[in-house]
Chains A and B, each alone.
Chain A
Amino acid sequence: MKLNSIQKKIILKNRLTFLFVLLFVYILLFEFILPVNKILPKPSLLLDSIPALFSEYNLLYEMAITTSIIYLAIAIGFLFVWMLSFYFATIVNRNIGIFNNLRLFKNFPAFFFAILFAFWFEGSVFAELLFTVIVSTFFISISFMNSAITLPTEYKDAAKSLMIEEMKFHNNITWKYSLPKMFDELHKLHYYLWVLVLIFEFVSALNGFGSIYKLALNYNDLSVIILLGIIIALLIWLGNSIIDNIEKKLIFWKA
């Protein structure tokens, strides 16, 4: 359902109110009523930990690694699928069996491969990028094939009758038709990649946000764990907003 601007403003207002209430309760409860506890740190302590995140945990550098890997992997995956989409569409059209078999892997727990890759390559950044690109390419190719399979018969018939050649048909019709559904799936992939990359980095404990988590756990640094959670949530929200904006600008039609 598409929301109009007034509805969007109301939703935003409600969400902000909810956040402020949560913040107020948190400050009241953990700063004044329960200052010493093992559940959440004192708000003032949280603020004091921010400089440490930059100096001791090297936040900017690790953030650059994690975000570069995630967004580069999405871009490379999209590029790969675009380049190979003609062959993927052929697989879909000519051999549904292979496509269905490939789809089986969509439900396979990819974190298992994250751990395996971290084990094989001992936490190299290139291994991390390679793993993320493989997951991203696989996910995007499946979402392309899922979409291409639903291409309406009337488009196929019209194109065949107008003698639009196969490659032109693919680039101008199948690919364009699939884009809105692929972008819808991109949000899922985005979130999924964040989780996987964090697992990979946590296991390898060498680079990225995951390594900060590992370190913070070793130091029992609850403030940093919480702060990092907030930063990651903000980054995921920002990433989703960017994907939304790209979709709005480039893909104005419905599938």
Chain B
Amino acid sequence: MNKILEVNNLSKDYNDETGFNVHLLEDISLEVTENSITTILAPAGAGKTSLLKILSGIESLTSGQIKINSENQRVVYIPSKPSSFPWYSVKQNISLVNRDDEKIKSIVEFVGLEGYEDHFPENNSVGFRFRISLARALAAEPDIIILDEPFDKKIKPVTLERLYELLLSLKSKLGITFLLGTSNLSEAILLSDEIYLMQKEPGKIIDSIQISFDNERYVELMSSEKFINYRNKIEELLKNQKEQSLSNITI
């Protein structure tokens, strides 16, 4: 499969409010292949959001290299908090990016918002607002969609399952490439083709693991032996890393 995004030795430093230099990201290298879901699995505060924003072109990097497939490659970032605009209906939110009615209609249908075109996001659930953000991202005709902690803990399990299915179908039917940032291990295993494990302070990739299942992905896979094996393997890697970093501490 084609590499669509390649990151080499990316680092990010910044000065905080007190002028103290913070070394946020160190030597990050990763690859994203076309039509895949690549996940960055990291604890909160590891610098995931900054990394994803840098890859989206929203923030700048201090050093390193980001290689993209072509100059016209479009990367769309979806923030972790709902970013749909409450003063616009579903349709108006999408038409901010693309005014083609036919396109809007097909996107609305695909993300499961058919019949809700004139609804406003404010009084609706987080899941509904996520679908709007996703629809808006699709309207931009992206090559990669970057999702930053997309699934809020408040989302009901049934809704969450449907959103997982939606992402997987977007990948398989529309060929969309996703780069996902999450701290949820089960979510990462279920959705991803490849997981990059990231530690915090400084944010650094410690390992990567390819995920493949023989069958189609669905939530029930979470109780399969293979899924549990993946889970154990990643937990083991994280545990080893934790011990290693603790052993580095000298008193």
Q: How far is the CB of A80 from chain B (nearest CB, A)?
A: 22
A87 interface contact, C-beta 8 A: no
User: How far is it, in angstroms, between the C-alpha of A162 and the C-alpha of B85 when the chains are bound?
Assistant: 13
* Smallest CB gap from A255: residue in B: B86
B75 touches A161 (CB 8 A): yes
Contact between chains at B58 and A161 (CB < 8 Å): yes
**A154-B80, A161-B58 known; A172-B85 Cβ under 8 A:** yes
**A8 on interface, CB distance cutoff 8 Å:** no
**Binary CB contact string for chain B from 29 to 43 against chain A (1 if under 8 A, 0 otherwise):** 000000000000000
Chain A window 10-47, contacts with chain B (Cβ cutoff 8 Å), 1 for yes, 0 for no: 00000000000000000000000000000000000000
Whether B96 pairs with A162 at a CB distance below 8 angstroms is yes
Does B120 have its Cβ within 8 Å of any Cβ on chain A?
yes
In the assembled complex, A9 has its CB within 8 A of some CB on chain B = no
The yes or no answer to A164 lying at the interface (CB within 8 A) is: yes
Q: How far is the CB of B62 from chain A (nearest CB, A)?
A: 19
Contact between chains at B80 and A161 (CB < 8 Å): no
Q: Does A163 contact B (CB under 8 A)?
A: yes
Bound form: Cα–Cα A251–B53 in Å: 32
Contacting residue for A158 out of B75, B78, B88, B122, CB 8 A? B78
How many Å lie between the Cα of A164 and that of B140 in the bound state? 10
Given A160-B58, A161-B76, does the pair A155, B87 have CB atoms closer than 8 Å?
A: no
CB distance from A224 to the nearest CB of B (A): 47
The smallest beta-carbon distance between A251 and chain B, in angstroms, is 8
Task: Name which of B56, B80, B87 has the most chain A CB atoms within 10 A of its CB.
Answer: B87
Q: How far is the CA of A155 from the CA of B133 in the complex (A)?
A: 11
Chain A residues near B140: list those with CB within 8 A. Answer: 162-163
For B185, the chain A residues whose CB sits under 8 A away are none
Tell me if B196 is interfacial: C-beta within 8 Å of chain A.
no
B136 and A253: CB pair below 8 A? Answer: no
Per-residue contact bits, chain B 58-95, to A (CB 8 Å; 1 contact, 0 not): 10000000000000000111111111011110000000
A155 touches B120 (CB 8 A): no
Q: Does A152 sit at the interface, judged by CB under 8 A?
A: yes
Could you tell me the distance between the alpha carbons of A154 and B77 in the complex, rounded to whole angstroms?
10
Task: Known A162-B137, A252-B120, A254-B122; judge A157-B96 contact (CB<8 A).
Answer: no
A101, B8: Cα distance in complex, Å: 45
Q: Please, how many angstroms separate the alpha-carbon atoms of A179 and B88 in the complex?
A: 14
CB pair A161–B77 under 8 Å, yes or no, is yes
A179 to B87, CA, bound (A): 10
Given A161-B58, A162-B137, A253-B122: A155 and B83 interface contact (C-beta under 8 Å): yes
Question: Is B219 located at the chain interface by the 8 A CB criterion?
Answer: no
Chain B residue numbers with a CB within 8 Å of A251 are 87
Q: Which residues of A are found within 8 Å of B79, using beta-carbon distances?
A: 153-154, 157-158
B97 at the interface (CB under 8 A from A): yes
- B179 shortest CB reach to chain A, Å: 13
Contact call B58/A162, Cβ cutoff below 8 A: no
B111 to chain A, nearest CB (A): 16
10 nearest A-B residue pairs (beta carbon): A158-B83, A154-B79, A161-B77, A253-B86, A154-B83, A154-B81, A176-B87, A253-B87, A157-B79, A162-B97
**Which B residues contact A (CB, under 8 angstroms)?**
53, 56-58, 75-83, 85-88, 96-97, 120, 122, 133, 136-137, 140, 146
Interface residue ranges, A against B (CB under 8 Å): 152-155, 157-158, 160-164, 168, 172-173, 176-177, 179, 251-254
* 27 CB-based A-B contacts, threshold 8 Å: A152-B81, A154-B79, A154-B80, A154-B81, A154-B83, A155-B83, A157-B56, A157-B58, A158-B79, A158-B83, A160-B57, A161-B76, A161-B77, A161-B146, A162-B96, A162-B137, A163-B140, A164-B97, A172-B85, A172-B88, A172-B96, A176-B87, A252-B87, A252-B120, A253-B86, A253-B122, A254-B122
Beyond known contacts A152-B81, A154-B81, A157-B53: 14 more, CB 8 A cutoff: A154-B79, A154-B80, A157-B58, A158-B79, A158-B83, A158-B133, A158-B136, A161-B58, A161-B75, A162-B76, A168-B96, A173-B85, A176-B87, A176-B88
